A and B are shown apart, each in its own frame.
Chain A
Amino acid sequence: MNYRGPGRVRAEEKPMPEILHPEDCIVKVLRSCICGSDLHLYNGNVPDTRVGSTFGHEFVGEVVELGSEVNKLKLGDKVLVPFNIACGKCSFCRQGLYGNCHESNPEATAVGGIFGYSHTAGGYDGGQAEYVRVPYANFGPTVIPEGMDLDDAVMLTDVVPTGYQAAEMGGIQPGDTVVIFGAGPIGIMAAKCSWLFGAGRVIVIDHNEFRLEFVKNYAKCESYNFKSIEDPVQFIKQTTDWLGADVCIDAVGAEAAGSAMQTITGRKTLMQAGSATALFWAINAVKKGGIVSIVGVYGPTGNLVPIGNVLNKGITIRANQASVKRLLPKLIDHVQKGTIKPKALITHRMPLRNVSDAYRIFSDKLDNCIKPILIPPTVKE
């Protein structure tokens, strides 16, 4: 996959990746996904996204080459690769903040390295490809447990941990009302996981009817279309005894719809780091003393959010890139026991050579798309 500019990607031959560090390995990709995060790149909203880059931070594959110091993997191992590149040794990694590693991104200190996610996230080529260079192979890649479906495994590289962490950061206490903005894969997973923390009520807000219907069944929660509600904040207040939700989760990020002013300043003219409509709603709809958990991704400059209300309401904001490696042991167990069934979210399987159409379908939410996966030509299914 090769990025050519906003809205333009194509499949193209590129040179084989090489081992550049003794702790690298090369992975032959068996499946990769397109993520809501890729849309920020696709739309040209992330600074330092260079033409010629390969995206893709959600992939599973087979180890085909090992650096001289890799001793935790062997050739032929089937691995799932967390989207964050983490050394496991810096003080951030040692505290479980694997999404904030200090030794994987020379270009910016504000974010750790991420596969296929612009030079602002380290300048790595990603997994929407046949082969990928995977650094810190002794630490990141995790051998896929015997019997686990590769479709479930690929969802453990990002979607499941991110949805889970969204709920975890919400500090959900038994009985809490949790409102989730966004019924994409991340919002759907956050809704599912909110129950695991003991939520009393889970409400999802979006404007895509198909996804709203899906999440209602998949996560057994309430779901509402913000297009048919005049004012989502007022609606949430009304339905929570006029107090607001205990926890609001932003699972939308920079491509949010729903406010012309935010869309024009955030998405069309890039005067702010993406459209902050969902975050705006989340801050205003949460109870006083409540928690806003942000997993929706925004750019590095700044956004129009009602920070005065954060102060006046005494809100706690928690946010991060998901710490995939920290959560994997628990979440692999949840998937193996059937507590979470992630592959149900995959609606489209497309050959990697159709990557241009796959991006269009996912970006415009065409053909009732929730999660598309790309299959490289070297893989026979």
Chain B
Amino acid sequence: MEKIAKGIPDIKDWGIDADPENDPTYPMKPNRTDEEQNGYTWERSVQQAETVEILKSTERPNLSAVFGTSVPPKGLSGAIRRYAYKNSEGQFSHWLPLLIADRVNVVEGIIDDLKKGKVPNIYAEKGFNAMWKYNRKAAIGMIAANVAAVSALGLFLFRGRIFNEGKSVKKALQNYNM
């Protein structure tokens, strides 16, 4: 208390009713140390080397002393993520591009699989076996939805060819590196 009071303008009776038991974060702070009043001055562990590209929040001056190195940003999703990290965490322009990048990344994941000669078994990945065993109705629903989606896509591509819109579809696919 005294320590905090030091930097505070002279206000009469400042802090006389302060009640540590009434800290709304109590009991999270059983030993209030007032250390945050000292700012970013604690003794940090040695800094982990940045061996892969790490996108840093604009709301901190440095990388944290340790960090994860899984799946560095890459491709179109990586470019979107780099853009997103230019905006602070308080802005939608940070989070919404990240959600879009996550979706783009799904398509990139399938392309990556195909490039490695692996056709992803999406049914298995979605736990279709478990669904079939314990929730037959949902499993059949999933098949029906997929059949509908595939037919709609087929129809779209077919119609595209007739009306010579195939080019734009092809172009879109090229943009995706397919």
Contacts and interface: CB of A to CB of B under 8 A. Distances in A.
A44 B102 CA distance: 8
B117 interface: no
Nearest to B46: A22
B44 A89 contact: yes
B7 interface: no
A284 interface: no
A4 B24 CA distance: 41
A367 B134 CA distance: 6
B122 A8 contact: yes
B9 interface: no
Interface string B48-71: 110100111101101111111111
Contact of A20 (B49, B89, B110): B49
B33 interface: yes
Contact of A107 (B32, B51, B57): B57
A95 B55 contact: no
Contacts of B45: 21, 23, 87, 89, 103, 136
B109 A106 contact: no
A356 B124 contact: yes
Interface in A14-55: 20-24, 44, 47-54
A97 B28 contact: yes
**Does more than half of chain A's interface fall in helix, strand or loop, or is it mixed?**
loop
A320 B57 contact: no
A4 B106 contact: yes
A290 B56 CA distance: 39
Contact of A357 (B64, B105, B130): B130
B19 interface: no
A8 B59 CA distance: 32
B70 A123 contact: yes
Interface residues of A, number: 69
A210 B95 CA distance: 37
B57 A109 contact: yes
**Does more than half of chain B's interface fall in helix, strand or loop, or is it mixed?**
loop
Given A89-B43, A356-B124, A5 B81 contact: no
A108 B68 contact: no
B172 to A, nearest CB: 19
A148 interface: no
Interface of B: 24-25, 27-33, 35-36, 38, 40, 42-46, 48-49, 51, 54-57, 59-60, 62-71, 73, 77, 81, 84-85, 89, 92, 95-96, 98-99, 101-103, 105-106, 108-110, 120-122, 124-131, 133-135, 138
Given A4-B109, A51-B102, A54-B70, 15 more contacts: A10-B125, A48-B101, A50-B73, A50-B105, A52-B71, A53-B71, A96-B29, A102-B64, A104-B67, A106-B60, A125-B68, A318-B28, A360-B127, A364-B131, A366-B134
Interface of A: 4-10, 20-24, 44, 47-54, 85, 87, 89-92, 94-97, 102-110, 113, 119-120, 122-125, 135-136, 168-169, 270, 299-301, 316, 318, 320, 323, 356-361, 363-364, 366-367
